Amino acid sequence: MKNQFFLLIILFLVSACSDSADPLPGDDFALMAYYVPNETFPPDDLPLDQLTHIIFSFSKVIDGEMAFNNPANDTLLRTLVEQRAEHPDLKVMIACGGWGADGFSDMASTPENRERFIRSTVNFVQRYDLDGVDIDWEYPAIPAAGTGARPEDKENFTALMKGLREALDDLDRPQTLTFASAGWERYYENVESLEVMKYADYMNIMTYDQVSGNAPFTGHHTALGYIAESDLEGLPILDTINKMRPEMEANGYSWAPRSAERIVNIVKEFGVDPEKLIIGGAFYGRAWKGVPPANNGLYQGNQGTHTGWMDYGTIRADYENKNGYTRHWDSIAQAPYLYSPSDSVFISYDDPESVAKKVAFAKEAGLGGVMFWQLSNDTREENGLLDAMYSSKTKDL
């Protein structure tokens, strides 16, 4: 009888542990790809087994409604959705907007305009049998790239997300609602983060373009690790910033070194649930010319943009430890960079090591996952960027 009693206790404990066990790390961890089709990455030949979400980019706000401005996207998106038959757990979404995409401020400005857009969005989702929508409004209340903006965008964006959430929840197919947010602090002055997150499943933080192509100094455009100003003492970047500070302050701006870790800390301080935060990797690099060799070109002045941007496939094929370019690693920023003394060219980019570290950081910080812009910029060679992210995601499972 005694032995039977202890056996029952053991079985109960085993059962209890099994029933209450936490999910394995990564079970609910999102790995999202923004995707612009091209000949190298057509929609019927993609590494979809490594993704949880793929976000077709872009639809636009056209005459107040969600629509494609390129008719060819209709067939491409339908072909992508067909791939879900082989990958039933994959979420296929549409991103609306993008850099320089106008129409958001006017569309969101009145209840009637918002309702028109929301109806068109629901129709769009149903037409293509999608799993969700990503709103890429760059940016509420900020006239970036000459787009329309008004102070009321702050509250109107919340109302738009609320309306989208309610309408999407009425559909039979469960819908994921996300939005692309900026990797810098000023953006969040114009967004009601906590209110918006009542309706969004994820905030996709664009932790890239942290140093713009027209900046007068070089830097990491997609740094992960926290960079303090003290890390820049004695370098030209800080001398330039200090000269610019009086003008920035007069216009209500401030400056601090940007990174994924820094902006995640800021957003978490607002009270946003970390499990709803997604950080971004860059499948492209930014390059500057006329860069002096000090510090291997990092945080130096420059004479302008070299190429604007280049995809990672090109970087690996032509620049990464090739043709006079040497790959360096910044242990503070947790980011690689390339420099050519003969060309005086500096390239900031993500590589397999840095994107794997971003995934590891997101897992350790309890974030919802990672995303990247964009899949067609990867290499088709083995051990590409997505391979590295997926390997890091599934490590220790």
Q: How far is Cα 287 from Cα 304, in angstroms, rounded to an integer?
A: 9
The single-letter code of the amino acid at 54 is I
Q: How far is Cα 260 from Cα 263, in angstroms, rounded to an integer?
A: 5
Question: Under a CB-based contact definition with an 8 Å cutoff, are residues 154 and 69 in contact?
Answer: no
Q: How far is Cα 139 from Cα 35, in angstroms, rounded to an integer?
A: 21
Nearest to 328 by CA among 308, 346, 310: 346
Q: How far is Cα 54 from Cα 52, in angstroms, rounded to an integer?
A: 7
Q: Which residues pair with 201 in a beta bridge?
A: none
> Omega into 175 within 30° of 0, i.e. cis?
no
Question: Under a CB-based contact definition with an 8 Å cutoff, are residues 319 and 273 in contact?
Answer: no
Q: How far is Cα 44 from Cα 39, in angstroms, rounded to an integer?
A: 11
The catalytically annotated residue of 138, 320, 381, 382 is 138
Q: How far is Cα 390 from Cα 387, in angstroms, rounded to an integer?
A: 5
The reply to whether 192 belongs to the active site is no
Q: Which residues does the annotation mark as catalytic?
A: 138
